Each structure stands twice: as C-alpha cells, then as structure tokens.
C-alpha cells in the first residue's frame, strides 16, 4: 500500500530524461501550443527580472508578473510546512522559467526541488536561474531539472516510492488529468497546489467541459469566479475519494488576470466522514436567492419566491465543494509569517495583509457559497448602492454572518436571504 512505502531522496542514479516530443498535442503541453489555444499567453523576451529581490531570466517561457501573489501564497505555505515537519521536498511540475522553484529553494528553504518542464528548450534558462543555489551531489542534491510531461514525472517518482511534501501544478485551462498521479506522488499530509485558468467553464459557458474535467455541470451564476474555485476543489475531492484520500482546502485564491484560480489542498488518508461539503448550488435569477443542496435533496429543490418546485428561474450547478474556501487558523499563520518577513503594506495591488485578512473573514463556516454585489442588491431595492462597511454592520446587527470577498471588492458574502438583505438595506441605509 502507498502508506507503507518510505520516501527516499534522489540518488545519483536519478536520470534526467528529455521529453519525447515537447510540442505534442498533450493536455500538459498546451502552453507550447499558444496558437492552438483560446488562452493567449504573453511570452517575455529574455531579460533580467526581479521578484522578492531574486533576479532571474525568463527566456522565451510563459511568465506573468501578475502571478507573483499566487507564488507568494505558495511560498508561505511551503515555509509553514517546513517549519512544522522539519523537511520539504517540492515538485514544481510545470516550472516555466523556474522562478517558483528558485523561490522554494531560497525563501522556503526547501531541502530538494524537482523543477520539471515538458519543453527541453527551456533547460538553459531554468538551470541558469537555479544555479544561484548550489546544486549539491548525491543525497545532498538540492535541485534537479527534468523535461517530461507532468503526469510522467509524477508517475516515475511514485513508482520508486520517491514522494514529495508539496506538488505545485501551475497548469493552463481546465486540465485535470494529472490529479490522480499527483495524489499518488504526494506524501500523506502533504500539500497540493492546483490551478485552473478556465474562466469559460467557471462562468457556466462550457458546462460539458466542466463536467468532463471536474465532474461538475456548471451553469451561469452571478458569482462565477467563486464557483471556479469550488469547482476545482470539488474535482480534487472526487478524485481523492476514488483513491481512498480526502482533501481539505487551506486557502483558495482568485486573480482576475487570466483569470487564475489557485487552491492549496492538504491530503489525508481516508474518506470524508460526511458529504455535506460536496453538493449543489442553486440561484434564482428572479429573486436573487442562492441556496445549497445535498444529493438527497435534489428532488426537492425550489425557490421561496415560486409556488412551483419547477421554477424556470432556478439554476442549479454542481456537484462542487460547498464548505469554507480557507482554513482560518492556517491563513492566520500565513499572515503572521508575512508580517515576520515584511511582506505586508507594500502598496501594490491588493496588499497581501488585506488579502489574507479577507480570506480569514471568508472562512466563517456559516457563510454559504457565493457573494452578493452591492450594485445588484441596490438595483433590487431600488436605492443607491450602500457603503460596504455599513451594510456589513447592519447585517451583523440583525444576527447574520457577513464578510468581504477577496474575489470582488464591492461584494459581500452572507447567509442572509436576498429578500431580507433588501429589507435590511432599506430599513437601515436608504437615503
């Protein structure tokens, strides 16, 4: 069984294998087929870049400065793991130019990083970037560069019981074919950092694509970007259950560029004791009310605004993850570490301190999936859009849970039904 195998370090017998065809039409190699994909990547000409005071080159690899925040979050998580467990071995399955791998080595103090990229044409730039850290030899080797499809890289390590503490998969689109191999190559209790950039599926415009990739039939909803995170987590929950594992999200992060959906999962042995966090989300386009459904409630779905259970205004999506998007205590540790490192109050984009603080708010288990935009509520109430903080205070005063959303600035997450939401706004805030 997987749990009885002991991980080992890469020995001198580890061989670097080149991809058979780095330009093949494989799901893992979509980044090299930019002309074939709907996603239009930006390739940066080789020049010296700087991120968190680390200099590196990008060569002709795909690189976005805007993704630095997602890399920050990964580094914070990796560092917490190292401090808690004493060691850290990372697989950067689609490493691009190698900046993530370099940061895991330097900032998270990883004991070993396997930097893998299917395109062997990127070998020079990756190696040059990682050479800022002494490679080491034998059992003391700190890093290695390989060129395989991500699935093959994970399968090969699993076959020799060479497990990783963290696997970072920065993929494009809605490719989920690597999930099973990632679970197999990951140490129990390890971290899996997943990515999706498929905004069409999360927005409900490709329901059969989301069904094939994540087992979820997604319809258009006004909080599609949060649905994208829950869809990604749900797909991992389903795949993990097939292997006898269960996963818990430590944090979930949406960024508008791309768009990019990233989730950090901790993987454990054994299935979830209950399925209340895996089900369906409904939204009524008529009254704006949203609700969650378990599997045994599917035949009872309806909306309070309609006398019939088969309301044509009711939209259903799922199954997906219904629980909290983040672990509050874990994100609090990330925030403390960010403060320790001086990573807060930088004045660029959404400050990291603000982002993590909002994530802690969003972790309230009383909050259901979705968020309400203030403009939408104001339109239904036929009033000016109220200030976010005043609306939150009014909801809390009425006994409801409320928080900001890290996904969109002028929106609230709350367990207050839309009809009550409108009434509270009118009673307390109408000018």
What pLDDT score does 338 carry? 96
Q: What are phi and psi of 4, to 5 degrees?
A: -95, -5
What pLDDT score does 346 carry? 66
**Domains in the chain and their CATH numbers?**
48-321 (3.40.50.150), 328-430 (3.30.56.70)
Nearest in space to 330 (alpha carbons), one of 359, 354, 301: 359
Positions in the chain short of pLDDT 50 = 1-13, 15-44
Q: What's the pLDDT tens digit per position in 257-306?
A: 889 999 999 999 987 666 779 999 999 998 998 999 988 888 888 888 87
What pLDDT score does 26 carry? 39
What pLDDT score does 252 carry? 98
- Cα separation, 321 vs 368, in Å, equals 11
Three-state secondary structure call for residue 219? coil
Cis peptide before 402 (omega within 30 of 0): no
CA angle at 58 for the pair 55 and 62, rounded to the nearest 5°: 135
Half-sphere exposure of 425 (CA within 13 A, CB side): 26
Model-level pTM? 0.87
What pLDDT score does 12 carry? 37
Nearest in space to 406 (alpha carbons), one of 358, 346, 349, 351: 358
What pLDDT score does 298 carry? 86
Burial (CB < 10 A; 0-12, 13-18, 19+), residue 105, is: buried
What pLDDT score does 63 carry? 86
- Cα separation, 171 vs 305, in Å, equals 41
Segment holding 100, helix H or strand E? helix 99-106
Nearest in space to 67 (alpha carbons), one of 341, 285, 257, 294: 257
Q: What's the pLDDT tens digit per position in 105-125?
A: 999 999 999 999 999 999 999
What pLDDT score does 9 carry? 37
Give the DSSP per-residue string, 299-353.
Answer: GG---TT-SSTT-TTEEEEEEEE-S-SS-HHHHHHHHHHHHHTT-S---SSS-HH
Q: What are phi and psi of 323, to 5 degrees?
A: -80, -175
């Amino acid at each position: 069984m997987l749990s009885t195998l002991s991980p080992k370090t890469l020995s001198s017998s580890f061989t670097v294998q080149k991809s058979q065809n780095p330009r093949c039409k494989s799901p893992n190699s979509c980044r090299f087929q930019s002309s074939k994909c709907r996603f239009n990547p930006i390739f940066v000409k080789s020049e010296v870049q700087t991120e968190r005071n680390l200099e590196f080159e990008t060569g002709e690899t795909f690189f976005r400065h805007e993704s630095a925040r997602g890399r920050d979050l990964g580094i914070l998580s990796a560092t917490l793991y190292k401090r808690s467990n004493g060691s850290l071995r990372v697989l950067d399955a689609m490493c691009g130019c190698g900046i993530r791998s370099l940061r895991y080595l330097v900032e998270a103090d990883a004991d070993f990083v396997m930097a893998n990229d299917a395109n062997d044409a990127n070998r020079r730039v990756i190696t040059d970037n990682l050479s800022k850290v002494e490679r080491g030899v034998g059992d003391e080797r700190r890093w290695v560069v390989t060129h395989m499809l991500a699935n093959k890289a994970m399968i090969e390590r699993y076959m020799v019981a060479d497990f990783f503490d963290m696997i970072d998969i920065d993929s494009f689109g809605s490719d989920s074919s690597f999930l099973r191999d990632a679970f197999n190559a990951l140490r129990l209790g390890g971290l899996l950092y997943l990515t999706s950039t498929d905004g069409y599926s999360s927005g409900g415009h490709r329901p059969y694509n989301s069904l094939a990739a994540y087992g979820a039939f997604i319809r258009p909803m006004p909080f599609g970007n949060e649905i994208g995170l829950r869809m990604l987590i749900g797909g991992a929950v389903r795949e993990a259950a097939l292997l006898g594992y269960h996963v818990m999200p430590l944090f979930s992060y949406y960024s508008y560029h791309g768009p990019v959906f990233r989730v950090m999962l901790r993987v454990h042995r054994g299935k979830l004791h209950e399925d209340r966090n895996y089900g369906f989300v409904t939204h009524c386009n008529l009254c704006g009310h949203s609700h969650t459904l378990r599997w045994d409630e599917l035949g009872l779905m309806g909306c309070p605004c309609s006398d019939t259970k088969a309301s044509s205004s009711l939209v259903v999506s799922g199954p997906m993850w219904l629980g909290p998007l983040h672990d509050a205590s874990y994100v609090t540790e990330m925030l403390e570490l960010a403060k320790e490192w001086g990573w807060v109050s930088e004045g660029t984009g959404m400050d990291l301190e603000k982002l993590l603080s909002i994530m802690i708010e969003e972790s309230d288990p009383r909050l259901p999936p979705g968020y309400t935009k203030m403009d939408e509520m104001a339109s239904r109430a036929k009033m000016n859009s109220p200030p976010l903080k005043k609306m939150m205070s009014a909801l809390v005063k009425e006994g409801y849970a409320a928080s900001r959303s890290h996904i969109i600035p002028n929106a609230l997450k709350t367990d207050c039904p839309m009809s009550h939401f409108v009434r509270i706004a009118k009673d307390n805030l109408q000018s």
